[in-house]
Amino acid sequence: MIGATPATSAEGGDDPLVFDDLPLEDLLQYPAWFKQSFLDLDEDLKEAVAAGKTGIIVYFGQKRCAYCKMLMEVNFKTPDIVSYTREHFDVVPIDIWSPEQVTTPSGQSMSEREYSQALGTNFTPSLVFYDAEGRIALRLRGYYPPYQFRAALEYVAGGHYLREKFPVYMARGDKTLRFEKGDLVEEPFFSPPPYNFDRSDFPAELPLVVFFEQGDCHACDVLHTQPLRRQTVRKLFNRFDSVQLDMHSDVPVIRPDGSPGTAREWAEELGIFYAPSIVFFDEHGKEIIRVDSVVRFFRLRNVLNYVLSRGYLTEPNFLRWSSHTRRELDAPPPPDQ
């Protein structure tokens, strides 16, 4: 795998992990080289394949999404990423709130909003890679820095998805970084070992959150020194059973379903490939949601409130819940009776 050329974040200097993730004031613009599509994705795929490309990437985004802006202004302004993407894929943008009709690669007709929900788009940007046969080769949820993003492009374009899972590919191609020894940054709200998360017979009193991290991890350091330093966030994590695991370690754990294993085995079972990944489970041990991409304060706080308020019970789609909640908070108070 080839690392991408370093890019510059408008808000965070040279670090694509550091930016303000509040909703944008100005509407986001797509790159001019994105596919000018009539939203007939089956036809778009045929055209891409006829042009000798691997397939298409369907980009699910929002016009005021700060993470989408990072994808556009960092990754898609990195020359080798742009040239590699355009060589191997056509990129078709989807607005996750739009009522416009789209025909999926499998020939189904639905609105862009329904299509987004059908594919479980919980975070934007989300990218779905379709191969020449119309099969989903890879899904990315959220924003990834240039290096991981370039690796994802190569994973699909090189046909690696036909032979191995993406977490295996990432670990194999990035072995030096991912297996380097180093201390993890601990927090006072992390529970100490032994790590027994068994909730199979009796529900726990609190929901569970597991931080899968690794040593010498810049993204982990940024998480701990910035979003996790905010008192609002720290107070919310105190309402969880919060645990930190080295995703490559052989420390023993009892999973929420009661089965034994190691932290490494559990991370592999969950398909964890990005550090840090934060996985949330309810009191019965069922996974609620995970954050396995770059996360800043605003998104992290919203996810915590989503879980703690049990919003997932009435709205399984985090983005829909977040949108409804924001509208309710922004609504004027009712007139006095």
* Predicted pLDDT at 10: 43
Kindly state the tokens that stand for 228. 């996790």
The structure's pTM equals 0.91
| Alpha-carbon gap, residue 147 to 157, rounded angstroms | 15
| Residue 169 near residue 194, CB atoms below 8 Å | no
pLDDT of residue 324: 87
- Beta-carbon contacts of residue 161 (< 8 Å; ≥ 6 apart): 129, 131, 137, 138, 155
Measured CA distances, 94 to 57, 71, 100, 305 (Å): 10, 15, 10, 27
The list of the chain residues with pLDDT below 50 reads 1-12, 176-180, 331, 334, 336-337
In terms of Cβ atoms closer than 10 Å to its own Cβ (0-12, 13-18, 19+), residue 312 is middle
State the pLDDT at residue 246.
Answer: 97
Beta bridge partner(s), residue 93: 59
Tokens matching residue 60: 């699910």
- The DSSP secondary-structure symbol of 190 reads B
167 closest CA partner among 155, 150, 153: 155
Residue pLDDT, tens place only, 200-229: 999 999 999 999 999 989 999 999 999 999
Summarised one tens digit per residue, pLDDT across range 268-301 is 999 999 999 999 999 999 999 999 999 999 999 9
